[in-house]
């Protein structure tokens, strides 16, 4: 039983909540799975959890196609997007894109050596993970993955998401335009 006080009504206003969450800058990743029905999604709710063992987490909406895909696959890949990859982030966030292998015709990628998950070329880093644990996170699941492999490819900056917009570093922060 949760003994914590209930939040004030204004905290659960979805627009205010999104605005408050959006005040925190995050990196942008594409999470992928391979198999008979490969899938990908843009995720900014990704973070390192532990160094020993090496664990990361990604939060996935329970109603998203990726939710079932990652649970079925038992493993996943992560491409940490470079600052010039905002279009890829938009594409893999678009629910109107094709599903299955066809969605990967949009950009260049290669299969991860450990999981076979599609890893997007041009990303600043890649990770391959085995499903470690899944926790209830309200309307999302908190998916922990044990890192099986990782690479840092490009010395450039990663893509950021802040205030509902993709952004990049560079002296003064500038909005990415398309």
CB 21 within 8 A of CB 153: no
Question: Which runs of consecutive H residues, i.e. helices, occur in the chain?
Answer: 14-21, 65-73, 86-93
CB 126 within 8 A of CB 80: yes
pLDDT cut 90: percent of the chain above it: 68
What are the φ and ψ backbone dihedral angles of 173, each rounded to 5 degrees?
-70, 130
In order of start, what are the domains of the chain with their CATH numbers? Answer: 27-175 (2.30.110.10)
pLDDT cut 70: percent of the chain above it: 89
CA-to-CA separations, 19 to 12, 13, 159, 160, 176, in angstroms, rounded: 11, 10, 19, 16, 19
Q: Provide mean pLDDT across the span 44-60.
A: 96
What is d(CA 173, CA 54) in angstroms, rounded to the nearest whole number? 31
pLDDT of residue 23: 81
* pLDDT tens track for 53-90: 999 999 999 999 999 999 999 999 999 999 999 999 99
What are the φ and ψ backbone dihedral angles of 62, each rounded to 5 degrees?
-60, -25
Residue 14 pLDDT level (bands cut at 50, 70, 90):
confident
Q: Provide mean pLDDT across the span 18-32.
A: 88
pLDDT of residue 11: 58
Cis peptide before 152 (omega within 30 of 0): no
Residue 172 pLDDT level (bands cut at 50, 70, 90):
very low
């Amino acid at each position: 039983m949760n003994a914590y006080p209930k939040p004030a009504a204004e905290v659960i206003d979805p627009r205010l909540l999104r605005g408050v969450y959006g005040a925190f800058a995050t990196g942008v990743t594409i999470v992928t799975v391979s198999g008979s029905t490969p899938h990908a999604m843009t995720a900014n709710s990704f973070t390192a959890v532990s160094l020993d063992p090496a664990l990361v987490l990604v939060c996935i909406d329970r109603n998203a196609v990726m939710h079932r895909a990652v649970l079925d696959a038992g493993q996943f890949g992560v491409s940490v997007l470079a600052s010039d990859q905002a279009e890829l982030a938009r594409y893999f966030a678009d629910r109107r894109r094709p599903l299955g292998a066809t969605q990967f015709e949009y950009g260049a990628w290669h299969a991860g050596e450990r999981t076979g998950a599609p890893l997007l070329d041009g990303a600043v880093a890649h990770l391959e993970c085995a499903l470690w644990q899944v926790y209830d996170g309200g309307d999302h699941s908190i998916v922990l993955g044990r890192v099986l492999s990782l690479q840092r490819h490009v010395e450039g900056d990663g893509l950021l998401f802040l205030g509902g917009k993709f952004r990049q570093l560079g002296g003064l922060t500038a909005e990415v335009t398309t």
